[in-house]
């Protein structure tokens, strides 16, 4: 990428996004990406970031809509739930990342669960929870998440003080008034108690966000995992329901709108989901009755394929970065071909352009 | 002396004929008498042909049947009588009973379930059934009639000789005209368009002789030279066949209009065991719906979507038509191919004749004849044999 070349696509300052900026890319500083997104970026986007040596997101209508709502949130009211849904590959996760970045710049506390599906499948070790005998712990996933949480929200961890005493085991306990950072440390070092640490973090944050010290953004990707089936089994090969996992249980409490001082943004995802048909994308289909009732009422936001302007902008972005090497890529017919083959689907388009 | 030897030879050969299938000692040559009618006087053994009997007991001797001229004439008479009988049977007028009527009548009277069309019962004029053969080439004294008999391919060489004679005549004529100053350049190529030279098989059939490839090439070169010299006459036209234009055979769907006044056209396509029906609207955005589902979701594989893109991309109409189609059967590739064929056929009605011809040449309008080959007994699959074990 030549530094001296003037950009055809204008870069906009992120806080000033409005409708007229729709379809344009804006640049995110790489340093921010490391802090805000230690986890949570789609893998292909992370590869693209590494290749282009910059992180660029397109400003699109669903994200703009959400930003508008978030800017006008009334923090006295209970947290509003927003659900981003759409076909596979339309850009739900990246829209979520856009929102998270915006809120991080506005100094909110980000509680980002990169993919809830990772917590309900392929877990190696399940421990019986010390806190509640019926539930199961997932030490590995919990500790990994705590590490990432720490990276994202360093500065808040020392400010927030817990308001209760928690006893880890016979020898260790944590006093009231100590900072949240210590809880997180405990969870990271003592892997056995990681899940409980996560539970404590969630509970405290929920309680304290209503006080108004900070704004809390709960961002969950693949929220339909919370109410679906799991592939985990007990030692006697009987399946575990989602409620029996401590992490899931706590997260469910988190997305209930009985707290105020923030917002909950969620994405549905069929890609990682278990036992759901490929073509399902509506909230009703993916959440199931239980999930739908639990999340009701929420604001659904449909994320669709690119419209012609956005498509054009995306192609221009790739051309600028010399990603499309084919001679016909910048001709009209080439663009029409790409449009037909991908049908404006961002994911498909990205995969197509990877070959060219 | 000679006569008596010949006559006893005839008797011997007669006896040999009566026992045709006796197993003979290796490599014996059978002499077959041509005519064994009771002709008074010494019979002259005329060598018609030689047959070779192989050593194996069960393989029948390869014989080339000869049909005499009288035999063929008799067959023709029988055919005509049979045709009149058939016409009577079917209740039609015997005078105006054509070959198509005969074919239909036979198909009706002898229905056959055989797949091979050539194995079904057929009643055709003897000229078409019995292969053309040459009449005897030599006279009573054994001297051949044709002056080029001993070349082996008398009709071919005589044709070449005549053609060369004509070339020389034309050149002489041209020289005479030039000498007189009346020579004029004429356009000679108009009557050659839309026709082609005879192919080798057709020439062989015409001359009733086997030709080699070099012979055929030489013939074509000589004909070309003849054409260069002068105008093509009747002589040359007899060696040319017309080439039919293929695209006229492509049926074009009529354009229909639906309730809102939108013009659309429907057609079907098939591939392997998938059947598709496509409705292409004339004005649209380039959306394609298959069985009510968007084509991006129905065909997650890129290859199938490329197949769908082909007809539109070829005609440069990528975003201009809307398509709704239904498809059933087959696998994903077969369904994609079937839809592509259906769409191409439907597009024919919105497109000029020339573009239809281009599409046909691109192979968009041909239905793919490849079907799954049957598994044979004794083999693991259609082609794959069982693992061969040496012991």
Cβ <8 Å between B312 and A340: yes
Task: Using the predicted structure, report yes or no on whether residue A57 has a pLDDT greater than 80.
Answer: yes
- Spatial CB neighbours of B123, under 8 Å, sequence gap ≥ 6: B79, B82, B83, B86, B102, B103, B106
For B264-285, give one letter per residue: b (16+ CB within 10 A) or e. Answer: bbbbbbbbbebbbbbbbbbebe
% of chain B beyond a pLDDT of 90 = 33
Domain-by-domain residue ranges, chain A?
64-302, 307-355
Is the residue at B54 inside a domain?
no
Is the residue at B389 inside a domain?
no
Interface test with A, best of B285, B316, B318, B343 (most A CBs within 10 A): B318
In 3-state terms, what secondary structure has residue B102?
helix
Cβ <8 Å between A341 and B286: no
CB pairs under 8 A between A and B: 35
- Which CATH number fits the domain that encloses residue B343? 3.30.230.10
Cβ <8 Å between B316 and A352: no
Is the residue at B334 inside a domain?
yes
Which residues of chain A neighbour B300 with C-beta distances below 8 Å? 278
Q: What is the pLDDT of residue B2?
A: 45
Mean pLDDT of B211-215: 93
Is the residue at B29 inside a domain?
no
Task: Using the predicted structure, report yes or no on whether residue B9 has a pLDDT greater than 50.
Answer: no
Cβ <8 Å between B318 and A343: no
- Spatial CB neighbours of A257, under 8 Å, sequence gap ≥ 6: A78, A79, A80, A81, A264
Instruction: Please check whether residues B106 and B203 belong to one and the same domain.
Output: no
Q: What is the pLDDT of residue B63?
A: 56
Mean pLDDT of A54-62: 84
Task: Find the residue in B nearest to A305 (Cα).
Answer: B296
Which residues of chain B neighbour A343 with C-beta distances below 8 Å? 294-296
Cβ <8 Å between A340 and B319: yes
Task: Find the residue in B nearest to A344 (Cα).
Answer: B296
Where among B180, B212, B242 does a domain terminate? B242
Closest CB to B318: pick one of A337, A342, A352: A337
Is the residue at B379 inside a domain?
no
Instruction: Please check whether residues B162 and B104 belong to one and the same domain.
Output: no
Q: What is the pLDDT of residue A247?
A: 85
More confident residue, B157 or B190: B157
Q: What length is written for chain A?
A: 356
Q: What is the pLDDT of residue A16?
A: 56
Task: Using the predicted structure, report yes or no on whether residue B4 has a pLDDT greater than 80.
Answer: no
Provide the pLDDT confidence category of residue B384 given band limits of 50, 70 and 90: very high
User: In which domain, by residue range, is B205 found?
Assistant: 152-168+188-242
CA B177 to chain centre: 44
Q: Which of B80-89, B248-257, B313-322 has the lowest mean pLDDT?
A: B248-257
Which residues of chain A neighbour B296 with C-beta distances below 8 Å? 87, 342-343, 345, 348
Is the residue at B24 inside a domain?
no
Q: What is the pLDDT of residue B276?
A: 93
ipTM of the complex, rounded to two decimals: 0.81
Instruction: Please check whether residues B342 and B268 belong to one and the same domain.
Output: yes
If interface means Cβ-Cβ distance under 8 Å, which residues of chain B face chain A? Answer: 286, 293-297, 300, 302, 305-306, 309, 312-313, 316, 318-319
Minimum distance, in Å, between the CA of residue B305 and any CA atom of chain A: 6
In 3-state terms, what secondary structure has residue B257?
strand
Provide the pLDDT confidence category of residue B161 given band limits of 50, 70 and 90: very high
Q: Does domain A64-302 have CATH number 3.40.50?
A: yes
Mean pLDDT of A191-218: 83
Minimum distance, in Å, between the CA of residue A39 and any CA atom of chain B: 28
Q: Identify which of B230, B242, B241, B243 has the alpha carbon closest to the alpha carbon of residue B206.
A: B241
Q: What is the pLDDT of residue B291?
A: 92
% of chain B beyond a pLDDT of 70 = 78
Task: Share the mean pLDDT of chain A.
Answer: 82
Instruction: Please check whether residues B226 and B321 belong to one and the same domain.
Output: no
Interface test with B, best of A278, A281, A307, A340 (most B CBs within 10 A): A340
Q: Which of A67-71, B55-59, B82-86, B354-358 has the lowest mean pLDDT?
A: B55-59
pLDDT tens per residue, range B257-273: 777 778 888 889 999 99
Q: Identify which of A117, A184, A190 has the alpha carbon closest to the alpha carbon of residue A152.
A: A184
Which residues of chain A neighbour B319 with C-beta distances below 8 Å? 336, 339-340
Question: Cβ of A147: how many Cβ atoms within 10 Å?
Answer: 15
Instruction: Please check whether residues B227 and B273 belong to one and the same domain.
Output: no
pLDDT tens per residue, range A114-147: 888 888 888 777 778 777 778 888 888 888 888 8
The count of domains in chain B is 3
| Helix (H) or strand (E) run with residue B173 in it | helix B154-180
Task: Using the predicted structure, report yes or no on whether residue A20 has a pLDDT greater than 70.
Answer: no
Minimum distance, in Å, between the CA of residue A345 and any CA atom of chain B: 8
């Amino acid at each position: 990428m030549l530094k001296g070349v003037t950009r055809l696509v204008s870069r906009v300052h992120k806080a000033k996004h409005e409708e007229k900026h729709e379809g344009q890319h804006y640049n995110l500083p790489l340093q921010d990406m490391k802090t805000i997104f230690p986890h949570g970026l789609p893998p292909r986007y992370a590869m693209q970031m590494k290749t282009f040596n910059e992180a660029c997101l397109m400003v699109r209508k669903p994200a703009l809509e959400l930003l508008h709502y978030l800017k006008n949130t009334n923090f006295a009211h209970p947290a509003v739930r927003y659900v981003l849904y759409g076909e596979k590959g339309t850009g739900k996760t990246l829209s979520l990342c856009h929102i998270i970045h915006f809120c991080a710049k506005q100094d909110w506390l980000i509680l980002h669960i990169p993919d809830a599906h990772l917590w309900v499948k392929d877990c190696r070790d399940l421990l019986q929870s010390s806190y509640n005998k019926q539930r199961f712990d997932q030490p590995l996933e919990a500790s990994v998440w705590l590490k990432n949480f720490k990276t994202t929200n360093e500065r808040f961890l020392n400010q927030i003080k817990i308001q209760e005493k928690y006893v880890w085991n016979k020898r260790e306990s944590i006093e009231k008034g100590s900072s949240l950072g210590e809880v997180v440390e405990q969870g990271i070092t003592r892997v056995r108690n990681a899940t409980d640490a996560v539970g404590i973090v969630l509970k405290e944050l929920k309680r304290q966000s209503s006080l108004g010290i900070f704004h809390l953004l709960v961002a969950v990707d693949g929220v339909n995992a919370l109410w679906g089936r799991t592939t985990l089994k007990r030692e006697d090969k009987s399946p575990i329901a989602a409620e029996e996992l401590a992490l899931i249980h706590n997260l469910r409490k988190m997305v209930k709108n009985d707290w105020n001082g923030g917002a909950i943004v969620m994405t549905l995802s069929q890609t990682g989901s278990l036992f759901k048909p490929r073509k399902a994308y509506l909230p009703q289909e993916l959440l199931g009755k239980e999930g739908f009732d639990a999340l009701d009422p929420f604001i659904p936001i449909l994320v669709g394929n690119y419209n012609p302007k956005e498509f054009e902008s995306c192609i221009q972005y790739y051309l600028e970065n010399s990603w499309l090497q084919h001679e016909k890529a910048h001709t009209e017919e080439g663009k029409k071909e790409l449009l037909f083959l991908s049908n404006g689907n961002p994911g498909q388009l990205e995969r197509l352009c990877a070959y060219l | 002396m000679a006569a008596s030897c010949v006559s006893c030879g005839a008797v011997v050969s007669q006896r040999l004929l009566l026992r045709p299938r006796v197993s003979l000692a290796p490599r014996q040559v059978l002499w077959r008498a041509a005519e064994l009618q009771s002709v008074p006087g010494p019979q002259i053994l005329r060598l018609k042909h030689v047959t070779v009997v192989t050593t194996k007991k069960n393989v029948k001797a390869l014989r080339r049947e000869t049909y005499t001229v009288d035999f063929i004439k008799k067959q023709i008479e029988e055919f005509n009588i049979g045709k009149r009988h058939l016409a009577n049977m079917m209740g039609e007028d015997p005078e105006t009973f054509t070959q198509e009527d005969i074919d239909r009548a036979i198909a009706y009277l002898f229905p056959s379930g055989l797949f091979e069309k050539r194995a079904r019962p057929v009643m055709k004029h003897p000229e078409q059934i019995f292969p053309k053969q040459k009449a005897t080439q030599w006279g009573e004294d054994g001297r051949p009639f044709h002056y080029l008999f001993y070349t082996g391919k008398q009709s071919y060489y005589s044709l070449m000789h005549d053609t060369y004679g004509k070339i020389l005549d034309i050149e002489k004529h041209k020289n005479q005209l030039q000498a007189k100053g009346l020579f004029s350049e004429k356009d000679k190529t108009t009557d050659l368009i839309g026709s082609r030279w005879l192919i080798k098989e057709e020439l062989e059939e015409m001359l009733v002789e086997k030709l080699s490839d070099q012979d055929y090439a030489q013939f074509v070169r000589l004909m070309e030279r003849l054409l260069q010299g002068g105008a093509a006459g009747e002589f040359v036209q007899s060696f040319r066949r017309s080439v039919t234009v293929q695209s006229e055979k492509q049926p074009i769907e009529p354009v229909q209009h639906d309730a809102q006044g939108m013009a659309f056209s429907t057609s079907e396509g098939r591939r392997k065991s998938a059947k598709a029906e496509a409705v292409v609207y004339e004005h649209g955005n380039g959306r394609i719906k298959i069985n009510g589902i968007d084509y991006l979701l129905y065909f997650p594989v890129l290859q199938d979507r490329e197949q769908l893109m082909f007809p539109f991309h070829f005609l440069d109409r990528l975003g201009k038509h809307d398509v709704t189609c239904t498809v059933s059967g087959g696998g994903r590739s077969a369904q994609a191919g079937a839809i592509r064929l259906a769409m191409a056929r439907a597009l024919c009605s919105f497109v000029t004749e020339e573009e239809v011809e281009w599409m046909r040449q691109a192979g968009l309008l041909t239905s793919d004849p490849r079907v799954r080959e049957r598994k044979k007994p004794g083999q693991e699959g259609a082609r794959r044999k069982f693992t061969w074990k040496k012991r």
